[in-house]
Structure formats: C-alpha cells, structure tokens
Amino acid sequence: MIGIFDSGIGGLTVVKEVLRQLPEYQFLYLGDTARTPYGNRSQDLIYQFMVGIVDYLFKAGCELIIVACNTASAQALRKIQQEWLPKHYPSATAVAGQANSGQRPSKRVLGVIRPVAEEAVKLSRSGRIGVVGTRSTINSGAYRREIEQLNPEIKVFQQACPLLVPLIEEGWLKRPETIKILRYYLRSLKQQKIDTLILGCTHYPILFKEFQQISGRQVKVLDSAKIIVEKLVDYLKRHPEIESKLTKGKQHRYLVTDLTDKFQENAQNWLGQKIKLEKISLD
C-alpha cells in the first residue's frame, strides 16, 4: 500500500493526482488534523510528530510513504531517511548481518521538495526561481538548498505566506482580502523578475489560478501535486522491488487524528468527491 501523509487535509491535493495518475494502487491517507498546522512549529516537534506517523503507516501495511506536507518534508524528512529509517526498518540483508548490505532500508519515505526543485531547475530559463511556503518551510531553506545543489548558478527568492493556509481553510478563495494578501506576498518575487514559481505548500494549488494571474504570463507557476506524482510514477518504474510490494485496489482510506464538520467539508471540496474521514488515535 502507498501511505500519504500530511499535517492535515491539504495533502488531498496530492491524493487527487494519485487518483488520476496511479488509479490502480491502493493508498492510505493520514492527516494529522489534531496538530495541524505544522507551518509555524519547530523542527524538533515536527520530527517527533513525523516519526509517530511514519511508524503508524508502516505498521498499517504501507511499503512506501509520500510526505505530501512541504513543512514536514522540509524540516524532518532528511533525518527520517538518513537516521530513523535505516535503524527501524533495515534491509533484510542488513538484519542478517551480511557484509556489503548497504544502508538501504526495507521501506521508503519520499518527500515533495526534491522532485519539484528538479522540475523548476529544468524549466527555468532565466535562472531566477521563486518559492512560496509556510514560515517553517521557508525558514528551513530546503528548496533553496536542493535547487542550489542541482545548479549553483540559479538564484532562489523565497517568500513565507503564513496567512494563506487559514484563508484557504476558511474557504476565502475569491474574497478581495485574499487576493490583496496574495498580491502583497508576490510583490517582492515579481520585483526579482523570477520566471518560475514553486508553490511549496499543500494548500496553495487550491489558489493556482490566482497565483498564475497575479504572477503574470512571464512566470510559470508549477503544479506541484502533478509533478510529485509524475516523479512517483517514474520512481516506481525504476524500483520494481518496491512497486511489486504495493497492493492494488480501490479500498482507499482517509484517516485523521481529529474530525470536525469543517475538515469533512473541506476534504470533499478539495478532492472533488465524497469521502469518509475516519478518526484514529496514534497511540
């Protein structure tokens, strides 16, 4: 099974693409709605949250987890991949103590920063890329690091947009206040003459048209969810040993750590179909 993790239900923007591009695979979604938003939290706390969730999803039968949440990917993914995973889910050969087993864990956790950074680097003509995200994602510098690693010549301009998640969750999509705030956030990026814009937050694709309109025609706004799933399709082709372990079927489940009418309403609006959120406890 594929696990899809987000700090809340914004990750359903990624689920929508999984349903479109990988319709035959069964997935288990987990939104940490009891502790959302992660966007202004510290790295230590986000790491602790993520360990509990990743472990839960593996124990529930997931072989591969997509961390749809940009904030969690930016703040905690590397440590999970490099330290926690090899220790808790070592490869069979490593368990058997075989020499040369390598450090590859038996299960995988993939994030959203690297695939979108790769696409941005590929597409940018002027070498000036803008990134918007939560305060935590922007402060981590994760997108900048990935982009500069791929091409040190590229200039990255970042803007934290902490007001956007609450506005989107309130459904204030077409309100003049939201458009005004969006204009304000994009002003400095436009002044920097970026030609590519990364929407580094699960929620922002819900305002995709507005981002594109305000950024102008000379800026290519990247559809992160689409890119992430395209890269996942490619990853599964290159890793048949993981792909062959994934179950197929349509019995998807949508788990949350807290359930309210508002979460249920937003979930259905954002996914564009009727779904049932199930409340679970992580302990």
What are the catalytic residues?
69, 201
Q: Which is nearer to ligand DGL, 10 or 105 (CB)?
A: 10
The single-letter code of the amino acid at 171 is: G
201 makes contact with ligand DGL (CB under 6 A) = yes
Q: Is 13 in the site for ligand DGL (CB under 6 A)?
A: no
Q: Is 283 flagged in the annotation as binding?
A: no
Residue 149 burial by Cβ neighbours in a 10 Å radius (0-12, 13-18, 19+): exposed
Report the residue number, 137 or 215, with the smaller CB distance to ligand DGL: 137
State the minimum distance, in angstroms, from the CB of residue 68 to ligand DGL: 7
Among 8, 105, 111, 130, binds ligand DGL (CB under 6 A): 8
The answer to whether 112 and 223 have CB atoms below 8 angstroms apart is no
Cβ closest to ligand DGL, residue 5 vs residue 157: 5
- Within 10 A of 175 (CB to CB), how many other CB atoms are there? 12
Query: Binding site annotation covers 203?
Result: yes
Residue list 101-140, contact with ligand DGL (CB under 6 A): 133-134, 137
Of 10 and 115, which CB lies nearer to ligand DGL in the complex structure?
10
Size of the site for ligand DGL (CB under 6 A): 18
* Interface with ligand DGL, residue 75, by CB under 6 A: no
**CA proximity to 220, closest of 113, 73, 119, 138:** 119
197 lies in the binding site for ligand DGL (CB under 6 A): no
Smallest gap from Cβ 182 to ligand DGL, in A, equals 16
Please state the separation of Cα 226 from the chain's center in Å: 11
| Interacting residue with ligand DGL among 70, 75, 106, 178 (CB under 6 A) | 70
Is 39 an interacting residue with respect to ligand DGL (CB under 6 A)? yes
- Per the annotation, does 39 bind a ligand? yes
Tell me the C-alpha distance between 270 and 12, whole Å.
Answer: 7
Q: Closest approach of Cβ 217 to ligand DGL, in Å?
A: 26
| Residue ranges in 136-165 that form contacts with ligand DGL under rule CB under 6 A | 137, 165
> What tokens does 202 get?
């699960």
Q: How far is CA 207 from CA 45, 90, 111, 178, 198, in A?
A: 28, 40, 22, 10, 13
Neighbours of 97 (CB within 10 A): 7
The distance of closest approach from Cβ of residue 155 to ligand DGL in the complex, given in angstroms and rounded to an integer, is 23
Residues contributing to the site for ligand DGL (CB under 6 A): 6-8, 10, 36-39, 69-71, 133-134, 137, 165, 201-203
Residue list for the binding site for substrate: 6-7, 38-39, 70-71, 202-203
